[in-house]
Amino acid sequence: MSEISVRQEIMALKAYVPGLSIAEIQDKYNLPQVIKMASNENPLGMPPLAREAVVRHAAGAFRYPQGGNPRLAKALARRHGVDERRVVIGNGSDEIIDLLIRILAVPGTHNIVCFNPCFSIYPIQGRICGIEIRRQPLEKDFSFDFAALLDLVDANTRIVFVTTPDNPSGYCPPRKAVEDLARDLAQKAPDCLLVVDEAYVDFADDEKAASMMADGIMPHNTAFMRTFSKSLGLAGMRVGYGILPDHLADYLWRARLPFSVNILAEEAALAALEDQTFYDATLQAVRTGRKELSDGLTALGCKVWPSQANFLMFGMPEGAPTAAECFENLLARGIIIRPLKSYSLPDLLRVSIGNEQENRAFLAAMAEVLGAKPAKGGAKA
């Protein structure tokens, strides 16, 4: 019997290998509690107003959502001071990224350009679509060489992806440099879209200084990606959005599956936008925790990269356990962080900023892994 054949691009895909679930880790190491600092989720949980909204609207979930999510699009347009027709909402910003590639790039003809390493969705979705991916290595300090990135662009380049602040390093390029890139790209390749992925930009010390969009600078060739998964506390609800150049949003809406944002996710997102108390507390917790973790890891001898996001990338001191050993060691202590092997950075680790208690537990566990005493006041996990 012959097997049904699939497209070549699909056969070449590696299966996603998920980490152990919280329950599996609890079981394996016999732990009463597990702390997850691996996926850059909100350290304060779900916005209380969004929780209430989900409960309040649960009984309405037998209905289809309203096509085009017009209430949410209106609220987001208001939030960012843009025309409602430029807003596209998706099942996570992952969906918007996927749609942009499918709408703009023709397989076998066009290419997309991004850094290496970068957020894995850009090259993976590109590959699935059969699009050539061109990648510019990051600088040694994980900063961006925009001139070299631009060198990869030709007449067949349809999208250039830039993540700011970057994942997994936390590096945030100067806003002026991104503005210059948009201008130079428009000159060199007028038909190419610049996608600025701002999933983490509101965690920056100064959002306006970090984000063109926050400061109202929106070149005609530039799309901005934002998400409810991080600062707005709804990763599991799957809501993200893009603010796109004028005519593009309409095509994305036409191509999007009609009901990809479900009715409870939409209500939760609307309520999250209203929960200013939660949002302010989140930014405060992340900025404080980022400093605390960065100082704590540095005091333990780790190399910590500067970050404007809700996570830190770090390397182990010389002579210490390897990054892989550290990851396993922390797991046995009930703390999950992110090894960066899949980003081709096997010597580095990424930890999401947690709440106060999680940050303290993480630093105490790191001190144990490194065989050091916690600096001071470090509570035992």
Ligand X SMILES: *Cc1c(COP(=O)(O)O)cnc(C)c1O
Nearest to ligand X of 119, 279 (CB atom):
119
Stretch that binds ligand X, among 15-23, 68-76, 89-97, 282-290 (CB under 6 A): 89-97
Q: Residues 6 or more apart from 320 whose CB is under 8 A from it?
A: 301, 326, 369, 370
Query: 216: which DSSP letter?
Result: T
Nearest to ligand X of 104, 239 (CB atom):
239
Structure tokens at 27: 């079981």
Nearest to ligand X of 229, 294 (CB atom):
229
What's the closest the beta carbon of residue 300 comes to ligand X, in angstroms? 26
Residue type (1 letter), 331: L
The two beta strands, 193-197 and 222-227, are: parallel
Stretch that binds ligand X, among 63-71, 92-100, 178-186, 292-300 (CB under 6 A): 92-100
Q: How many CB atoms lie within 10 A of CB 75?
A: 17
Angle, alpha carbons 348-352-354 (nearest 5°): 140
Backbone angles phi, psi at 231, to 5 degrees: -65, -20
Nearest to ligand X of 199, 213 (CB atom):
199
Stretch that binds ligand X, among 86-94, 144-152, 264-272, 322-330 (CB under 6 A): 86-94
Interacting residue with ligand X among 99, 113, 199, 300 (CB under 6 A): 199
Nearest to ligand X of 35, 199 (CB atom):
199
Q: Does 198 bind ligand X (CB under 6 A)?
A: no
Q: How many residues bind ligand X (CB under 6 A)?
A: 13
What's the closest the beta carbon of residue 93 comes to ligand X, in angstroms? 4
Q: What is the secondary structure of 161-189 as a DSSP string?
A: EEESS-TTT-----HHHHHHHHHHHHHH-
Q: Is 114 helix (H, G, I), strand (E, B) or coil?
A: strand
Q: Please compute Rg for the chain using Cα positions.
A: 21
Q: Does 93 bind ligand X (CB under 6 A)?
A: yes
Q: Does 43 bind ligand X (CB under 6 A)?
A: no
Site residues (CB under 6 A) for ligand X, limited to 135-174? 163, 167
Interacting residue with ligand X among 92, 123, 173, 354 (CB under 6 A): 92
Stretch that binds ligand X, among 51-59, 90-98, 151-159, 177-185 (CB under 6 A): 90-98
Stretch that binds ligand X, among 56-64, 71-79, 91-99, 365-373 (CB under 6 A): 91-99
What's the closest the beta carbon of residue 279 comes to ligand X, in angstroms? 16
Q: What is the torsion angle, in degrees rounded to the nearest 10, for the CA atoms of residue 16, residue 17, residue 19 and residue 20?
A: 120
Among candidates 139, 146, 137, 219, which has minimal Cα distance to 177? 146
Token match 């105490």: residue?
364
Token match 């507390």: residue?
281
DSSP alpha helix (H) spans, 242-355: 248-255, 263-274, 276-299, 323-332
Nearest to ligand X of 98, 275 (CB atom):
98
Site residues (CB under 6 A) for ligand X, limited to 219-278? 227, 229, 235, 240
Nearest to ligand X of 261, 367 (CB atom):
261
Q: Does 352 bind ligand X (CB under 6 A)?
A: no
The two beta strands, 193-197 and 157-163, are: parallel
What's the closest the beta carbon of residue 40 comes to ligand X, in angstroms? 6
16: Cα within 13 Å, side-chain hemisphere: 6
What's the closest the beta carbon of residue 166 comes to ligand X, in angstroms? 8
Q: Compute the distance between CA of residue 351 and CA of residue 337 in angstroms, rounded to an integer.
A: 5
80-108 b/e (C-beta count within 10 Å ≥ 16 → b): bebeeebbbbbbbbbbbbbbbbbbbbeee
What's the closest the beta carbon of residue 63 comes to ligand X, in angstroms? 24
Site residues (CB under 6 A) for ligand X, limited to 109-138? 119
Site residues (CB under 6 A) for ligand X, limited to 291-350? none
Q: What is the number of the residue whose Cβ is closest to ligand X?
A: 92
Chain residues binding ligand X by CB under 6 A are: 40, 92-94, 119, 163, 167, 197, 199, 227, 229, 235, 240
